[in-house]
A and B are shown apart, each in its own frame.
Chain A
Amino acid sequence: GENVEQHPSTLSVQEGDSAVIKCTYSDSASNYFPWYKQELGKRPQLIIDIRSNVGEKKDQRIAVTLNKTAKHFSLHITETQPEDSAVYFCAASNYGGSQGNLIFGKGTKLSVKP
């Protein structure tokens, strides 16, 4: 089955700096790669996703890149703000295939210092 590795487990940056979180996956059939943000005491919520037919996607200060050959994808947050502090999870799925389930990485706790 799919296995997703996520690094780093914790990340501390100064407000205004950039943050990068990296994930690798094992199943070459995976074709959907979302990122979820979980604030303290709340449920995970989707912030951005990318499908296997594109290499990069951007939404304001957030971008995700995908390298299918190397089987890794990354989340980039620019101009970080204190409200970006949260736990971020990457995930991978073979969407529409025999398994429609999401497999998550272990998460990255991002702290943005004012």
Chain B
Amino acid sequence: EAQVTQNPRYLITVTGKKLTVTCSQNMNHEYMSWYRQDPGLGLRQIYYSMNVEVTDKGDVPEGYKVSRKEKRNFPLILESPSPNQTSLYFCASSSRQAFFVNTEAFFGQGTRLTVV
């Protein structure tokens, strides 16, 4: 089954304690992205990757890191989480193979992060 898998689904942590949210896709997609969703602000892009070892900042990258060492994985790293990073996070992937087909972005289940 084609899917994007995020872990964990829920996470409560303390300020300053490093954490990683994993994202994995099994569709051989080139594009992967991380978004955060906050009430009234919609989906804001944190980082995106067009392929292995190619990453770029989105609209709200401060306080986050990513890596793309393998095509299927795109972890989101918070080196020193702060309460303003409390949010719902989504990973998404899509294909670059063809413009007229296979352009749908598939989202993971979401990770609800609370930083206290």
Interface assignment of A46: CB less than 8 Å from any CB of chain B:
yes
B90 touches A44 (CB 8 A): yes
Known: A43-B90, A44-B43. A101 touches B31 (CB 8 A): yes
Q: Which of A11-19, A72-80, A104-112 contacts B (4 or more CB under 8 A)?
A: A104-112
Q: Does B56 make an interface contact (CB < 8 A)?
A: yes
State the main secondary structure of chain A at its contact with B.
loop
Q: Are A106 and B41 in contact (CB under 8 A)?
A: yes
Residues from chain B with Cβ under 8 Å of A1 in the complex: 59
Pick from B50, B107, B108: contact of A100, CB under 8 Å: B50
Q: Is the CB of A104 within 8 A of B104?
A: no
Q: How far is the CB of B60 from chain A (nearest CB, A)?
A: 12
Interface string of A7-36 (1 = CB under 8 A from B): 001000000000000000000000110100
CA distance A101 to B45 in the complex (A): 9
Residues of chain B contacted by A102 (CB below 8 angstroms): 33, 45, 92, 94, 105
**Beyond A100-B30, A104-B43, 11 additional pairs, beta carbon < 8 A:** A9-B40, A31-B99, A34-B103, A43-B110, A46-B105, A96-B99, A100-B94, A101-B33, A101-B56, A102-B33, A104-B42
Q: 6 closest Cβ contacts across the A-B interface? A: A106-B42, A43-B107, A104-B43, A101-B48, A107-B42, A100-B31
- Enumerate chain A interface residues (CB-CB to B < 8 A): 1, 6, 9, 31-32, 34, 43-46, 49, 51, 89, 95-96, 99-107
